Chain A
Amino acid sequence: MRIAVTGIGMVTALGWGAEANWEAMLAGRSGVRPITRFDTTGMRTRFAASVDLPEDRPRHPVSVAERSRRLGEAVIAEALAQAGLEAPFPGPLCIGLPPVEIEWPQRLELNAADYPGLIEAASGRLDLQAEFLFGGTATRLAERFGTRGVPQTVTTACASGSSAIQMAIEAIRRGETDCAIAAGAEASLQPETLIRFSLLQALSTRNDAAEKASRPFTLSRDGFVMADGAGALVLEREDHARARGAAILGYVLGAGEAADKFHRTRSTPDGSAIIRAMSRAIADAGLEPSAIGYVNAHGTSTPENDKMEALASHALFGEAPPPISSTKSMIGHTLSAAGAIEAAVCLLALRDQMLPPTINNEDPDPELRLDTVPVARKHRFEAALSNSFGFGGQNVSVVLGRAD
């Protein structure tokens, strides 16, 4: 039983809507720009691939929780419309989301001088509760679209979107449902999170040329670029999709995951955990590595990730791995949403038989020995692999297939 994709939704710094994003990616445009949403004076990194909203006010930007909800709502609505479905949706919502909490604008608005005062002032603020509970964002999305059961809200850091796809296909395979929404939405770009990632020295600091900062697989890569964004897929049993006459856009053929036991922020030096995630996904799809015609890389543009991913690619695919590109070069690292967005990118690439580029590839790292697709190009292929390797050691890969 194959699992068909009948709807795709996407929002990134490149725009709203899957087709607008795809067009911009094929043109090699960058969505990375200086941050205007808040004051970045003195910060080590002052740019991002942000999705700003009309409701962002000076000193009071929309919260991570609410922006995630807005982006998630947009992509799920887009995917459902394409699938010819509407609320109530007859299956579960599986979604990767960032951890959220009350932020400084709201804390300071409560006008308390200490925590006991804050607790007192926040008592009974049901609006804040619905916004900042860990289950709040997914609950509001689930109720908006009338999805069934408990929304499965997953956080495996940068692998969350892929974990959501995996949980959705497992629920369909177990026979719990005929269809599911698999999504990811991310909006962690707020001052405290930006500062925290900076303190871990994970971010690019190329402040003088923001659009050049995300440069996966180059010698001069110096960290990832934080990004807002969301992606959604409507997944169905193939026979379910055919029976209702839905257009099939492609397939999720398999998924695989492996936890790394080595270190919180670094892969096992021999790459075994990420190799295991990739090979499990390919095996789950019932394929051999040689059947993979394109890899959408995790490709964060950190020195460590890109080296490990290249190592793993050679170990798995041999001397001549398939073309491997990182669309994070254009849309930055959308963290919890990356797996959902990049699976959608793979499906569009398969549909049009076009590979999206890794831009900013001016000084390719010769040690990596990869075809990183510096410019979009035509390519004949039937299956693609999407990699997501999470901070904290949670690695997930997903195999996407072309529509017949």
Chain B
Amino acid sequence: MTRRPVHVLGLGIASSLGDGAEAHRGWRDAVPVLDEARFAPHPLHPLAPLPFDKTIPRRESRQMENWQRLGTHAAGLAIADAALSERVAEMDLVVAAGGGERDAALDAQILATRPDEAGLHAALMNGLRPTLFLAQLSNLLAGSISIVHGVGGSSRTLMGEEIAGAEAMRMAWARVAAGSSTLALAGGAFLAERPEILLLHAMGGRLHRGPWVPMDEREGLVLGSAAAFLLLGPGPGMVQLTHVATDQGPPEASEARLDALLIDAPPARPGAIEIWAGPFGTPRPGLRLADQFGHTVEAAFPLAVALGAMMLRDGAPQIRIAMRGAFRGEAVAVLEPSE
């Protein structure tokens, strides 16, 4: 099958450093933004205050919580960055999503009172707000992006933590390359500062405890809030996404699978910059994404691709991204200047 080149036409980033390309240009040397108190003993990188009220109509914002607002905001930045808002109706959307917010106060009340089965159900019937369900359903981030920005092509939401972020990028890239999509908006959003999110990631047993230290000096993972979306198309554009590959299997063979994903990749160019987007340190070389942003789970791989695209615009010769998920999954991507 003939493959079209795939260009990065626009990117939208929001994180603990702020939003937009300018706020992230110096990300390699930025001082990490941390909150070590709110979920002590677990430090995390909180989301910067962002102007959601300027980019999301109030009527829509009321149907969301911050996770959906964050993703909707970043998707809008990508559309604006590409200056393609007149073509939203034909954009295909691929979102990597976790679950939205729970009502933490209601949960806490139930945990404190330990009701019996009937009491639990009564507490839920009386305490849950109807709109919260819409904020919580994973596919409603994509739904909110469609409603707020008018994105009207196909819409798919993938689940599966960080590898879902990589698979979303791969699916969008493959569809554009194969000609089955002319504009694909792909990315993910992750909001770390939520107790139910810390609970989920605590189960893996590797949440870092105590004061923050860099990845290569810690065993565990530190979570961070971020969203990143990329608008991909056949071009023209300054930056080409030349390779995206993913795999998954038993953890013991992960290293071999990760190596194999680069077999069909373009060779490394002199001065190529490597980015490691995984949650834990690794002997592999490269910039540690999670040192600046924390592990941003579904957003991690799209964030690495977006930052890489930004660095290419600023003159880097090649960006090579690799990631291994905390639970499962391996992924790589290569970005290069357009011919």
A132 within 8 A of B: yes
Q: Is the CB of B120 within 8 A of A390?
A: no
Give the residue name and chain of the A residue nearest to B177 (CB). A174
**Which of B117, B133, B158 sits near A199, CB closer than 8 Å?**
B133
- B155–A156 CB distance below 8 A: yes
Q: How many residues of B contact A (CB 8 A)?
A: 79
Per-residue CB contact flags for chain A residues 167-191 toward chain B (1 = under 8 Å, else 0) read 1001001111000000000000001
Instruction: Report yes or no: B150 in contact with A261, Cβ–Cβ below 8 A.
Output: yes
Question: Is A243 among interface residues, defined by CB-CB distance under 8 A?
Answer: no
Cβ of B55 within 8 Å of any chain A Cβ, yes or no, is no
Q: Which of B97, B154, B249, B250 has the most CB of A within 10 A?
A: B154
Cβ A259 vs Cβ B142 within 8 A: yes
Contacts of A326 in B (CB 8 A): none
Whether B163 is near chain A, meaning CB under 8 Å from some CB there, is: yes
Given contacts A123-B207, A132-B203, contact A261 B98 (CB under 8 A): no
Most buried by B among A125, A154, A197: A154
Q: Scan A361-375; emit 1 where CB is below 8 A from any B CB, else 0.
A: 000000000000000
Asked if residues B120 and A104 are in contact (CB atoms below 8 Å), the reply is yes
| Residue of A128, A259, A264 touching B154 (CB-CB under 8 A) | A259
In contact, A261 and B114 (Cβ under 8 angstroms)? no
A133 touches B164 (CB 8 A): no
**A195-B155 in contact given A104-B120, A150-B160 (Cβ < 8 Å):** no
Question: Which residue of the partner chain B has the closest CB to A260?
Answer: B146
For the complex formed, measure the closest distance between the CB of B236 and the CB atoms of chain A, giving whole angstroms.
Answer: 23
The reply to whether A195 and B154 contact each other, CB–CB distance below 8 Å, is no
Stretch binding the partner chain, chosen from B72-80, B104-112, B282-290: B104-112
Q: Decide: B130 and A200 in contact? CB cutoff 8 A.
A: yes
- When distances are taken between beta carbons in the complex, the residues of chain A under 8 Å from B205 are 123-126, 129
Are B147 and A152 in contact, with the CB atoms below 8 A?
no
Give the interface segment out of B4-12, B192-200, B270-278. B192-200
Report the bound CA distance from A280 to B27 in whole Å. Answer: 43
Give A133 to B163 CA distance when docked, in angstroms: 12
CA distance A353 to B205 in the complex (A): 55
Q: Does B21 lie at the interface of the complex (its beta carbon under 8 Å from any beta carbon of A)?
A: no
C-alpha spacing A20/B330, complex, angstroms: 40
Residue B268, interface by CB 8 Å: no
Among the stretches B167-175, B226-234, B310-318, the one at the interface with A is: B167-175
The CA of A149 and the CA of B198, in the complex, are separated in Å by 28
The complex places the Cα of A221 from the Cα of B167 at a distance, in Å, of 40
In the assembled complex, the CB of A87 is this many whole angstroms from the nearest CB of chain B, namely 13
Q: Which of A114, A136, A257 contacts B112 (CB 8 A)?
A: A114
Chain B residues within an 8 Å CB radius of A143: 249-250
Contact A195 B99 (CB under 8 A): no
Q: A132-B200, A175-B1 are in contact. Are A152 and B158 (CB under 8 A)?
A: yes
CB neighbours (8 Å) of B42 from chain A are: 119
Q: 8 Å CB contacts to B: which residues of A5-51?
A: 38-43
Q: Is the CB of B112 within 8 A of A153?
A: no
Tell me, rounded to whole Å, the shortest Cβ–Cβ distance linking B268 to chain A: 24
Contacts of B157 on A, CB cut-off 8 Å?
Answer: 154-156, 394
Task: Say if the beta carbon of B71 comes within 8 Å of chain A.
Answer: no
Contact yes or no, B133 A174, CB < 8 A: no
Q: Quick check: is B121 within 8 A (CB to CB) of the other chain? A: yes
Q: Closest B-chain residue to A198, C-beta based?
A: B125
Residues of B within 8 A of A (CB): 1, 39, 42, 63, 93, 97-99, 102, 104, 107-108, 110-112, 114, 117-118, 120-122, 124-125, 128-130, 132-134, 136-140, 142-144, 146-147, 150-161, 163-164, 166-167, 171, 174-175, 178, 180, 195-196, 198-200, 202-205, 207, 246-250, 325, 327-329
Q: Can you list 23 A-B pairs with a CB-CB distance of less than 8 A?
A: A42-B121, A115-B199, A117-B111, A119-B195, A120-B202, A122-B203, A129-B204, A139-B160, A139-B328, A149-B246, A149-B247, A150-B166, A153-B159, A167-B171, A173-B178, A191-B121, A196-B133, A197-B133, A260-B146, A261-B147, A264-B134, A264-B140, A392-B137
A-side residues, CB < 8 A to B, are: 38-43, 59, 97, 99, 101-102, 104, 107-108, 112-120, 122-126, 128-130, 132-136, 138-139, 142-143, 149-157, 163, 167, 170, 173-176, 191-192, 195-200, 257-265, 273, 390-394
> 8 nearest interchain CB pairs?
A135-B160, A124-B205, A392-B143, A129-B203, A115-B195, A259-B155, A134-B159, A199-B130
Known pairs A41-B118, A149-B246, A149-B247 / 15 extra A-B pairs, C-beta < 8 Å: A39-B121, A107-B107, A118-B199, A120-B202, A129-B203, A132-B200, A133-B200, A155-B139, A174-B178, A176-B174, A191-B124, A195-B128, A257-B154, A259-B93, A259-B152
